[in-house]
Every structure is written in C-alpha cells, then in structure tokens.
Amino acid sequence: MTRESTDILISGGGPAGLAAAAAFGSAGFSVICVDPTPPVTDGDAEGADLRTTAFLHPSRAVLQAAGLWDRLEPHAAALQVMRIVDAGGPVAEPRIVKDFDAADISDEPFGWNFPNWLLRREMVARLADLPTVSFRPGIATTALFTREAEARVTLSDGAIVTARLVVAADGRNSTIRQVLDIGVHTLRYGQKALAFAVTHPIPHHNISTEIHRSGGPFTLVPLPDRNGQPASAIVWMETGPEVARLAALPERDFEAEMNMRSCQILGPLKLATRRSVWPIISQVADRMTGERTALMAEAAHVVPPIGAQGLNMSLADLRVLLELAEADRAGLGGAKMLETYQRRRHLEVKARVAGIDALNRASMMGGQTFRDLRAAALDTLYSVAPLRRTMMRAGLGVR
C-alpha cells in the first residue's frame, strides 16, 4: 500500500476538477487529482462531451490564473449579444425579439464559447506542464477520514493520500459528499436536454439566441465556423419523453422538427454532430464544506442550462477557494478558510439556483395564457433600461 501526502487532493477530473487542479498547481500548491473515467479529448471519439460551455467574463480571470486562457482563446467564439425570442403564440413564430447587447454594460463581450471536449484537451495538456500536479485518470476516491489537522483519502488503487484540503469536484452524485453525509435538495422537472452542433447559412454574428415556446428553451450558441460554414451549438430542452422521441428520429425528420422549433432564425439548420441527451435537475448541497473538505461545482450545485450558469458558478467557487488559499497558505484547509468559503458561496449559490429554477419553469409553460404572461414580462423587463442593465450584470455574476 503506497502512502503519500499532498497539499490538495481533488476528487473528480471533470471540467471543474481539472480547472481547479490547474489553478492550485499554478499557484504553487502540490495537487493530486483523480478520476475513474479518463477524459475524452477528441470531439469525434466515442464518449466525447458534445456540450459547449459559454464562459462569462468573470470566469476569464480564473482561467488566466490557471494558465488556461492563452491555450483556450484561439478556439473561442465570442458572445456579444444574448437574444431572447418568445415564440409562444398559437403559431411557432417569433412574436417578441429582444437583444441584450454586452456593449450596454461593458466594452467586452458577455463571454466566450468552447466545446467541452476541447476544454478537457487543453486542461489535461496544461496539467502535463505543471510539475506541482499529478493527474491520475482511471482512479477513484473510495473513502475519506478526516481529523482537525488533515484528511486521509483512500484511492481505488489502494493508495492512501494525506491532504490538507480535499476538494470534492466529483459531480452531482459526489462520493465525497456522500461519505461526509451532506444532504442535497433536488428539484426535478421531468425534462431533458439534447445537445449537438449544427451548421447554417446565415452567420450568427456572435449572437446567442434563446427561443422560448414550451417544454424549455431552444438555445443556439455561436461556435467558430465548421468546414467554412457558420456553426452553432444547440441545447434543446423538452419533456423527457419528447427528448427520447426526438433523439430517436432519423436525421432528416429530426432536422425538419428542429427547423420548425428554431423558427428558421439562422436559416435551415443542418446537423453536424451526433445528438447527446442530458437529464435536467436543480440541486443544492445542504453545506459546501466538511472538516478539511470543500465541495465545489456539480458536487455542490446543479442547474438547468439556462443563461450559461453551471460551470461559471463552479469557477466562482474556485475563485473564492483560490483567493482564500493564497491569502493564508498555512491555513489551507483549516476551519477558518472553510467557514469563509461556506459564508461567501452558499447563500449566493442558493439564490442563483432559485433564480434559474424560476426561469426554467417559466420557459416550460404550456398554456397559452401563461405563455402570453411570460411574453409580457419579457417586454416590460426589457423596456426599463436600468432594470435591463441590472439583469445583465446579475446574469454575468458582476455587481
């Protein structure tokens, strides 16, 4: 049995765990990061994550600190305008179109969009450059024992690692969270999301478009051109049975349905990847800390993919953890650091999850009266300029 010690043990090498490993490793902490599932780093490979992540601009500073931004920037598609379309009338056509332009609040775009498989590729490459980080794909955390002074983590290869801080980034069913007996509050919608990429004849002009009718939003997020054609990532949310039906349709029938749902806003869409299906829930952990342990990302909070919040909230967790760790290196993983983390993140996370839950429920509305109310609310919120700007800042997570 091998025994070793490290400053930080990260359970989970999804996008959040890998970003955390890069950030702490870049700050000079020794890091071991484990994940039972080796990351798929090629978009065409079986099991590749075909979702994309729109990083909002507060996330860029964290990616810079982690030494990731310079690697990612050449692959970015900027998001300058967030267009909200209400197509909730009796006929599926746009009846209200509102553009939220980043220029109203900043000289920067709202954010930058990247395929998730590419994030993994660049993050794994960054870790290979960091002598402070040992990334171990194929290995899981299996047990955790903590004392005031340190945590002892057992790994699936039998190794025992002593760490000053354990970061649980092991997803919505987090092993570490369960070992610590931290409960979760989960909301289910009976809803799933289809995620895939398309090409289209009309350029997107860096506009991300969210179309609301019923069942959930249909969102087009800009991607760099694909084989010389304008391209977008799509997240299409619907009830579970409807997503199962859509996912099983032959390609041409699927394209016909998708073109009805998109209201042809970018012309006829052509499927460019396979379709992947994701379950949709909201979930918040009862606490974000245990002795010598911090929960982050989906181990602590899960939200429906609306307004590009999920991984951005995770990088906000990381920003606070990193700031506290660097401010008091000797206090890494101690009670003071973890109490401050809990205080700075948990209420904010709960408020954001509640806000996204409300937006998702509004987008799912099926009855005509409710859909008309939703359209009227969008119209009113948009027309009051200070309110509009406040909403845009809140969406980005800046004051």
Ligand X SMILES: Cc1cc2nc3c(=O)[nH]c(=O)nc-3n(C[C@H](O)[C@H](O)[C@H](O)COP(=O)(O)OP(=O)(O)OC[C@H]3O[C@@H](n4cnc5c(N)ncnc54)[C@H](O)[C@@H]3O)c2cc1C
Interacting positions 168-187 with ligand X (CB under 6 A): 169-171, 175
Among 6, 12, 217, 349, binds ligand X (CB under 6 A): 12
Hey, what are 286's tokens? 């009862």
Among 17, 25, 230, 397, binds ligand X (CB under 6 A): 17
Query: Can you tell me the distance from the alpha carbon of 236 to that of 196, in angstroms, rounded to the nearest whole number?
Result: 9
Q: What is the SS3 assignment for 386? A: helix
Of the pair 29, 196, the CB lying nearest ligand X is at 196
Report the 3 state secondary structure along 224-265: EEECCEEEEEEEEEEEHHHHHHHHHCCHHHHHHHHHHHCCCE
Query: Can you tell me the distance from the alpha carbon of 227 to that of 255, in angstroms, rounded to the nearest whole number?
Result: 19
Pattern of binders to ligand X over 57-96, x per CB under 6 A? ----------------------------------------
Interacting positions 135-154 with ligand X (CB under 6 A): 140-141
The CA dihedral of 5, 150, 349, 79, to the nearest 10 degrees, is -20
Instruction: Verify binding: residue 14, ligand X, rule CB under 6 A.
Output: yes
Total residues contacting ligand X by CB under 6 A comes to 33
Query: Can you tell me the distance from the alpha carbon of 49 to that of 117, in angstroms, rounded to the nearest whole number?
Result: 5
Query: Can you tell me the distance from the alpha carbon of 193 to that of 303, in angstroms, rounded to the nearest whole number?
Result: 12
Closest residue by beta carbon to ligand X: 14
Pattern of binders to ligand X over 275-314, x per CB under 6 A? ---x------------------xx------x--xxxxx-x
Interacting positions 211-270 with ligand X (CB under 6 A): 235
Q: Which residue type does 78 have? A: A
For 334, which DSSP code? Answer: S
Instruction: Verify binding: residue 321, ligand X, rule CB under 6 A.
Output: no
Among 7, 8, 11, 246, binds ligand X (CB under 6 A): 11
Write out the DSSP string of 363-377. Answer: HH--SHHHHHHHHHH
Output phi, psi for 160, to 5 deg: -120, 125
User: Minimum distance from CB of 122 to ligand X (Å)?
Assistant: 15
Of the pair 22, 54, the CB lying nearest ligand X is at 54
Among 9, 16, 130, 320, binds ligand X (CB under 6 A): 16
Q: How many Cβ atoms sit within 10 Å of the Cβ of residue 332?
A: 19
Binding segment for ligand X among 79-87, 130-138, 144-152, 164-172 (CB under 6 A)? Answer: 164-172
Query: Can you tell me the distance from the alpha carbon of 271 to that of 237, in angstroms, rounded to the nearest whole number?
Result: 17
Of the pair 194, 263, the CB lying nearest ligand X is at 194
Binding residues for ligand X, rule: CB under 6 A, are 11-17, 34-37, 51, 53-54, 140-141, 169-171, 175, 193, 195, 235, 278, 297-298, 305, 308-312, 314
